[in-house]
Amino acid sequence: MIYGIGTDIESIERFYEFFDKKNYIEKIYTQSEIEEFNSINNSRRKAEFLASRYAVKEAMSKALGVGISKYFSFKDVEVKKDILGKPMIEYKNFVVHLTISHNKDNVVAFVLLEKEDE
């Protein structure tokens, strides 16, 4: 059964300003995401990475129907990659479908949550 859907779009440009803001990075992103961010050498790709992960977290909060709140924080979700490099999320007892896309200016994330009938 579909539990919820969420989408978010972010401007890549605004994420360049966060490269050197350690407090911001540590507040929003998990340790694994920070390590992956730090391993990227291209500044354009770094901005895309931050924007896409942020969009996923926002889309997930919308799919859950709670927003970023006392029920869901940015660090509750970590984007991982499967063996083919496809982005994925493991979250509680949900099946999570995720897609991320970008163009020159923006990234968009779409999340669909499935849950077994209770």
* pLDDT tens digits for range 92-111: 989 999 999 999 999 999 99
pLDDT at 116: 76
CATH of the domain at 92: 3.90.470.20
Given a cut of 90, whether residue 52 has pLDDT beyond it is: yes
Domain that holds residue 37: 2-114
**Residues annotated catalytic, as ranges:** 62, 102
List phi, psi (to 5°) of 26: -70, -25
Q: How far apart are CA 5 and CA 34, in angstroms?
A: 26
Number of domains in the chain: 1
List CB contacts of 65: < 8 A, sequence separation 6 or more: 4
Mean pLDDT across 28-46? 95
